Amino acid sequence: MKVLISADIEGVAGVFHPEQTRAGNGEYEAARRWMTLEANAAIEGAFAGGATHVWVNDSHGSFRNLLPDLLDERAQVVLGKPRTLGMMAGLEYGAALVFMIGYHAMSQTRGILAHTINSFAFARVSLNGVEVGEAGLYGALAEEYGTQVALLSGDDVFAEETAPRFPGARFVVTKSATGYASGVSQSPASTRAAIQNAAREVVQQHLAAGRAPHAARAATKAVECELRVQTSALADLFCQWPTLTRVDAVTLRFDAASAEHAVRMLNCLSAMSFMLR
């Protein structure tokens, strides 16, 4: 049984302020340790449930936040960027299950530190007319690889908006939002225990159901992506890409051959946006 864990930081217990997500300060150093320990709880639970291979993907910012020396030595860690599959790098190794740990709500919601990919650039992202956050985007990519999104953790707003997209998945709520940078958190220790227990049970249930321990690629389908950006200057920049169509001052559309191609395009546009910072 192969498992891929995608670990972000904004949904981790105890993380509430942007400073905790940015390198170069003591609060970030504490938060990245909590992130690492929550990822480790998912790793330990996966192995306890019967996993044979586990990869953990560092999925925040620079993709080099996790502390490898704190992770279970049986797991392998995916670090650094750029990489083709972004927050789902590791799918190419055939994981049957994916866990999204420390994820957050989509942009322009009341979730803690809510955003979608790039808060400077993107205000709203839709696939085939349905607004999605990072879980929805990368979950669609995972499904193209034949991988089931089986476990997710983050705040209550994230869980509420994401549960309909993955009806068979388990959720661990790490904290409750009262605003963009405020809320009530579970303790890090109790959150890790809940993640470890859920990971173990999910893997056990998957194996007991007799499902395949390795993923098989699914057929891909073309998607239409609509992107609302934060400023018209960003739309000016992004529309230098000839396959983008401008709908209005801040809304763009493009067609992609698959969810993977849509994610890759969005990540390219995100990188382009740094020109205007």
- pLDDT for the residue numbered 219: 72
Chain mean pLDDT for the chain: 96
Longest dimension (CA), the chain: 53
- pLDDT for the residue numbered 220: 81
Mean pLDDT of all residues in 200-217: 84
Domain boundaries, the chain: 2-122+131-208, 223-276
Mean pLDDT of all residues in 94-109: 97
Model confidence at 212: pLDDT above 80: no
What angle is formed at CA 182 by the lines to CA 30 and CA 37, rounded to 5 degrees? 30
- pLDDT for the residue numbered 214: 65
- pLDDT for the residue numbered 143: 95
- pLDDT for the residue numbered 215: 64
- pLDDT for the residue numbered 211: 74
- pLDDT for the residue numbered 225: 98
Phi then psi for residue 63, to 5 deg, are: 60, 35
d(CA 167, CA 17): 30
Tell me the pLDDT band of 210, cut-offs 50, 70 and 90: confident
What confidence tens digit (pLDDT) does each residue in 154-169 have? 999 999 999 999 999 9
Q: What percent of the chain has pLDDT over 70?
A: 98
Model confidence at 263: pLDDT above 90: yes
Residues 232 and 106 sit within 8 Å (Cβ to Cβ): no
CATH class name, domain 2-122+131-208: alpha beta
What confidence tens digit (pLDDT) does each residue in 224-251 have? 999 999 999 999 999 999 999 999 999 9
pTM summary value: 0.96
Which tokens belong to 171? 């959720």
d(CA 107, CA 176): 17
- pLDDT for the residue numbered 213: 65
- pLDDT for the residue numbered 216: 65
What confidence tens digit (pLDDT) does each residue in 5-62 have? 999 999 999 999 999 999 999 999 999 999 999 999 999 999 999 999 999 999 999 9
d(CA 18, CA 22): 7
- Cis amide leading into 82 (omega within 30): yes
Model confidence at 145: pLDDT above 90: yes
